[in-house]
Each structure stands twice: as C-alpha cells, then as structure tokens.
Structure 1
Amino acid sequence: MEKSKTGKYLKYAIGEIILVMIGILLALQVNNWNERRKDRIREQVILKQLQEDYQANLIQLEEKMTTRDRIIYSAMQLLKAFDQPAGVIRDSLVKELANAFHDPTYDPIENDLTSSGNLILIRNHKLKRLLSNWSSDVVGVREIETTWSNSVNGEFDLILSELGLGRDVSNSFMNDSQHLWLLDHNQESYKIEVGTSKLGAPLNEILSSRKLEGIVGSAITLNKAANLQSEALRLRILEILDLIKSELKK
C-alpha cells in the first residue's frame, strides 16, 4: 500500500510539474506573440515615416537635377557664344552666366535606423540593406557637388572680379534666375535690384577669357556627372519606396 501511495504521489507530482511547464511555455508563447505584435506596430510606424522622408528626398533630388540641367543648358549657350561671338548680346550672356553658376547641393533626410537599433525591426532583407547603404550612396553625388561648389565659390568668383562682372551677374541672379532651392518656389521677396556696373569688361574681352571658357566647360562636365549619379540615386529611392509600399500593405 505504501508503494502504491508513493507511486500515486510521484505521478501527481510529475503531472503538476508538466502542467507548470505547459503553463510557462504558454505564457512565454503569449509573451513572444505580444512582443512580435508590438514590433510589427513599431515597424509600420517606422515604414510610414521612412515613406514620407524618402518621398521628400526624391522631390529634392529631382529639383537639384532640374537645376543642373539648366546649368548645363546655359553653359552650352555660353560655349556657343565663345565659338560664334557675332551677334551675341551682352545682357543675354550675363544672364546665362548667372544661370550657369548655381551650385545645387543635395541635402537629404538621413535615417538613424542603424544607430537607434530600429533597423532590426525591418523584416524585408532587401529593404534593410538599401536603407543601411543609403548614406554611402549619397556620397557619390555629394563628392561631385563639392568639387563644383568649390569652383563656383572660388575660381568663378575670381574670374568675375577680373572681368568686372560681379555686380552684373549678381543682379541677374537675383532677378532673372529661378531658384528651386527656396522652400517656397513662388516666393519673390529675394528679388533686389542690384543694378549693372559701368566698369565691366566689354563683350569681346569676356569672350576672350580662357579662364572663363575653361570653367564653363567644367560646369558641363561636373553637373552632367552629378546628374548621372543622381539618376542612379533616384532609381534607388524609387526602389526603396516600392519596397516600403509593399511592406505597408502586409
């Protein structure tokens, strides 16, 4: 009888242990499910914010590309003036100079997913990789932009000073050029009548400047290169947005 009671107690104890273990496993399962649900909610919030950020990045990038296309066009017109100076109007030349020497710089919204640890919440591996590589992808555009910006704010300014065209170009820049970099594209409060200089070089001297012709050529080369890099970046943004859209539908 003692053996029978011991056996019953042992079976009862084992049963209790099994029930406790099942309870613990169920609790862990429920907790894991709840944590995954919270992660999915957090992921959706992050994806929606990323969608807004990369849509803004796309708009800004396309505006910079449009500005560079205008730079290239004006630079081509200037080279034509150098090649065929007959019939060139000085005011038109100054306007093309003002348009050709914008220095657009791309300044996208950067995500901090890696540093914040939120990148792990993104389940789509391809999207995660593209987001992780974003900063390095932007570098290719910025490097070319920096080279051109240094030329504009250094060499070009010196050439304008030598030719006495600083005031004329500034006046055209403030009143004739389109400025897509303004937050409000329709804003015209930036306009100010600087006037033209009486000390500027005559047309034939302007079109005889080797330095000016050289930097105009650089304007075409560098801005075309920046736009080629930007086009690759634009396609990358579109790919990111498509992946985000597909993940938001899940």
Structure 2
Amino acid sequence: MIKFFKRLRLEALSRKRFPKYLLYATGEIILVVIGILLALSINNWNSQRQLKKSNKVFLNKLLKDLDANEKRLGSLVYDSLNDDTYPALEEAVIASDSIIKLTYLGLNESHFDYIKSAPFFAGNALLNLNDNTYSELSNTGKLYSLGSDTLVEAITVYYKRGEREAAYNVLNAKNVTDGFIKFEDGFWKLMMDFNRDSLNFNLNNYPFYTNKNSKEYNDYQIGMDLVDGGQRQNMGKMKQIIIETKKLKEFIKTELQND
C-alpha cells in the first residue's frame, strides 16, 4: 500500500500536480502512523499476555508458600510434631496453666506424677514463615504488577505482619527460657534427679516441694507463669496468622479465577 502511494506521489510530482502530491504524501504518512500504532498495540497485547502468564505462576507459588505456613503453624498450635518430642502449644498452655493452679492450691505427693510428666513445654519453635516467593517479587519489583492494588496491599500487609510477629515470637520465647532459668535450682533440679535416678529418689528430700513460702516454690510459680505467658502469647499470634493466611489464600484464588 505504501509503495502504491509512493508511485502516485512521484507521478504527481513529475506532472507538477502539487495538490495531488500532498494528498498522496499525507496518505503515505497516515499509513506509516497506522502501522506504527498497530505494531505498538500488538507488542502491548503480547506484553500483557506474558505478564498475566508470569503473574499466574507467581500467584500459584504464593499459594504453595501459604499452604506451607498454614500447615506448619497448625501443627505447632494444634498437633504434636511428628517425632512427638514436643506437645502442641494448646496442650502445653493447658498443662502449664494446670500446674500453676495446683501450686496455688498447694502441692502434695499425689500431684507429683502429673508435675513430672505434664507436657508444659512446646519447644519454643520460631515463626519462620515461608516468604521465598514474596522476597523474590519484592526484590525484582514484580510485586507491584502482580494484580490489583488491593491484592498487592493484602500480600504486603500479610508478610510485614509476619516480620513483626517473628520479632515478638523471639521475645516470647525468651520469656519461656527465663521461666526455666527461674526454677532450675529448685523444681527443675528435683525433676532432673527423678529422671536420672528414680530408684533412689525420695520426694521427702525436697521439702520446698510442699512449702508455699519457700524460695524454690515461689520461683517455680513465677517461672511457670513466664513459661505459660510466653507460650500463650505465641499461640495467640500463630492462631491469628493462620486466620490471615486462609484469608489471603482465598483472595489469591479469587484473583486467579478472575483472570
């Protein structure tokens, strides 16, 4: 088409028909512009298609990360770990709270079996949210073209909260550790002696066990309260993150369906 207009333009110029020459020149320019716009449109369409394809891959990777987070946190809060080394946080919080209540009632020999075997410590597991895909998106700048503004904001808020809660998780875990330190010279030594040499163990050799006014007894109460409080705080935060994880998963699934 451009060659056709060019031939007409040259013929008009050779015959000194300037109005026709200008008309043909204008037509040639319009065709060039249309060609450029069409090429840009096709390139833009192809870029958008590639972006949607890439976004779909990343959103599915995010879903896998969130599935892993939900599974891990659910295990820590509600289920004992596979090797049964530690109880779930719910179980540990119930046990530590029960021990504290017993100390206020007054411990006696009949309580010892429960005291020495109660699953009051859940292991101080760190939060460790899986954020590999989020980090990749953030570091490459692809996060902000991932989808709607509300989706990007929801993803950002989720992982920023994870960073904040991870810091609190460490502080709460320290409270638990401080609790153990508080009663390590009294009740912890008592339980260690039983576990190491149960045949020769005699509870009467530890008079502080039933003495509510003894330093060891008070340290045990304070220490168990720190253990209970730290684990309770972490359990509450993990439960909330599980809820937020489920919400974000549904948001991403809806975004994928709309595409």
Q: Report the TM-score when normalising by structure 1.
A: 0.78
1:82-135 CA distance string (max 9 Å, x none): 123245342321222x53363132111112122221102321222210211233
Q: Is the 8 A contact 2:179 2:222 kept in 1?
A: no
Give the corresponding residue for 1:214.
222
Q: Match for 2:29 among 17, 21, 26?
A: 17
Larger radius of gyration: 2
CA RMSD of aligned residues (A): 2.8
User: Aligned equivalents of 1:28 and 1:168: distance in 2?
Assistant: 80
- C-alpha distance in 1 between matches for 2:172 and 2:219: 15
2-structure distance, mates of 1:248, 1:168 = 59
Q: Distance in 2 between matches of 1:144 and 1:25?
A: 55
Number of residues paired by the alignment?
226
Match of 1:28 among 28, 40, 52: 40
Correspondent of 1:93 among 94, 115, 123: 115
Distance between the aligned counterparts of 2:209 and 2:168, measured in 1?
27
Partner deviation per Cα, 1:158-210 (whole Å, 9 max, x = no partner): 522444146469x6xxxxxxxxxxxxxxxxxxxxxx77596797565245421
TM-score for the superposition, normalised by structure 2? 0.75
- Within the alignment, does 1:240 sit opposite 2:248 as a pair? yes
Identify, as 1 or 2, the structure richer in helix.
Answer: 2
TM-superposed CA distance for 1:246, in Å, is 0.9
Counterpart residue number, 1:104: 125
Task: Give the percent of matched residue pairs that are identical in Structure 1 and Structure 2.
Answer: 20
Report deviation, 1:141: 3.0
Matched, 1:229 2:237: yes
Paired letter, 1:88? S
Alignment of 1:20-99 (within 5 A): 20-66=32-78, 67-84=88-105, 85-86=107-108, 88-96=110-118, 99=120
Higher relative contact order (CA 8 A, sep 6+): 1
Q: Which runs of 5+ in 1 are unaligned?
A: 172-193
Tell me how far apart the structure 2 counterparts of residues 120 and 69 of structure 1 sit (CA, whole Å). 38
Report Cα offsets for 1:50-73 as digits up to 9, x if no partner: 000001111112222222211211
142-151 or 105-114, which moves further after superposition? 142-151
Q: Report deviation, 1:154.
A: 4.0
- Tell me, what secondary structure is at the counterpart of 2:17? helix
Does the Cα contact within 8 Å between 2:66 and 2:130 map onto a contact in 1? yes
Residue 219 of structure 1 and its aligned partner are, at CA, apart by 2.7
Q: Aligned residue for 2:6? A: none
Output the CA distance in 1 between the equivalents of 2:98 and 2:28.
90
The equivalent residue for 2:82 is none
Contact 1:71/1:102, CA 8 A, preserved across alignment: no
Distance in 1, Cα, partners of 2:30 & 2:193 = 90
Instruction: Give structure 2 stretches of 5+ with no counterpart.
Output: 1-11, 79-87
Q: Does 1:159 align with 2:183?
A: yes
Is the Cα contact below 8 Å between 1:165 and 1:200 reproduced in 2? no
Q: Distance in 2 between matches of 1:6 and 1:87?
A: 117
How far apart in 2 are the matches of 1:122 and 1:101?
38
Q: What is the rounded CA distance, in whole Å, between the counterparts of 2:171 and 2:193 in structure 1?
A: 25
Change (3 A) 1:39 1:230: same
